[in-house]
Amino acid sequence: MPDIIVILVIALIAVGVFVMLRNRSNNAGQASLDDAKADARQSIERLGGQVYSLDPGADPAAKQALADAGERFTAAGSQIEQATTPAQAKLAKQTAVEGLYYIRAARTALQLDPGPPIPELEGQRAAGAVTEPRSVDFDGRTVEASPTPSTQTPNYYPGGRVAGRSVPAGWYSEPWWRPALIGGAWGIGSALLFSSLFSGMAGVPHGVADADLAGGDYGDVGGDADYGSGDPGSDGGDFDGGGFDGGFDGGGFDGGDFGDFGGGDFF
């Protein structure tokens, strides 16, 4: 009998220790998630303040950049509401930071103070930036790139990776990267476009302009990065440096939930 009692006591102690450690781990995990969500919400709120307060007027480049910022705001809000891990909360912050780059672009187009520096996006530095005007004929149309906004180049991209391929920061005549962002794959002819647009351009690494798209995605992975609907629909484990790859259902996010942003406090 004494042996049985000893065994029972040891078992109870073991169960108690297990429960205590599990609770401690759960508490630590929840605290980490709460911290990550709070950090993300700061960037989302800053983005929302600018989305709602900045007036683009009739400037086409500013209007487009502000619209893109609004899409990121909606997507980031959806992501943070559904985040259940610190990694997902970090992804929401990255989406909001990307939106802040579009705000910065809109302010630049309006010849306003662009504001303080913004945290670097993943893949942004490796992608480089457009440093000179370029105009190329591609697939029956003219595609232009420029380091500055204009009526001919009203579409901004902050730089980063899209479907495994680096896209330099700059202003473009059209968002030619969007099909790859939505579909998760580049068309075969895109190698020629990269080579024509960026070959020999200072500020763009040679590998970006290289017609060999090794490392890029060609297959259709079923990604869906429709920021406007807030339903990115693809795998949330990765962030494509300016393209959101979120995996969240954005239904029901109300940008008004963030309350009064206090006017135009940019950062």
Q: Tell me the pLDDT tens digit for each residue of 36-76.
A: 999 999 999 999 999 999 999 999 999 999 999 999 999 99
Q: In the prediction, which pLDDT does 25 show?
A: 66
Distances (CA, A) of 65 to 61, 110, 115, 147: 6, 11, 15, 15
Spatial distance between the Cα atoms of 233 and 242, rounded to a whole number of angstroms: 16
Domain enclosing residue 63, as ranges? 1-119
**Comparing 129-143, 165-179, 197-211, which segment has the lowest mean pLDDT?**
197-211
**Could you tell me if 58 and 90 lie in one domain?**
yes
Angle between the 86-109 and 2-53 helix axes, to the nearest 10 degrees?
Answer: 10
Q: Tell me how many domains the chain contains.
A: 2
What are 153-170's pLDDT values in tens digits?
999 999 999 999 999 999
Residues 38, 111: one domain? Answer: yes
163 and 83 within one domain: no
CA separation (Å) from 257 to 48, 100, 146?
Answer: 10, 19, 37
Residue whose C-alpha is closest to residue 66's, from 95, 106, 93: 106
Determine phi and psi for 95, rounding to 5 degrees.
-65, -40
What does pTM read for this prediction? 0.71
What number is the average pLDDT over the span 93-122? Answer: 95
Please determine, for residue 234, whether its predicted confidence score (pLDDT) is greater than 50.
no
Share of the chain above pLDDT 90, in %: 61
Q: Which residue has the higher pLDDT, 264 or 127?
A: 127
Answer yes or no: is pLDDT of 96 > 70: yes
The three-class DSSP label of residue 216 is: coil
Last residue within a domain, chosen from 119, 154, 171: 119
> Do 101 and 13 fall within a single domain?
yes
Q: Which residue among 119, 142, 159 closes a domain?
A: 119
Give how far Cα 43 sits from Cα of 93, 98, 105, 201, 228, Å: 6, 10, 17, 33, 19
In this prediction, residues 190-218 reach a mean pLDDT of 79
Burial class for 16, CB neighbours closer than 10 Å (0-12, 13-18, 19+) = exposed
pLDDT at res. 40: 95
Taking alpha carbons only, the member of 38, 41, 28 closest to residue 73 is 41
Ramachandran assignment for 252, one of left (phi > 0), alpha (psi -120 to 50 degrees), beta (any other):
left
Secondary structure of residue 72 in the 3-state scheme: helix
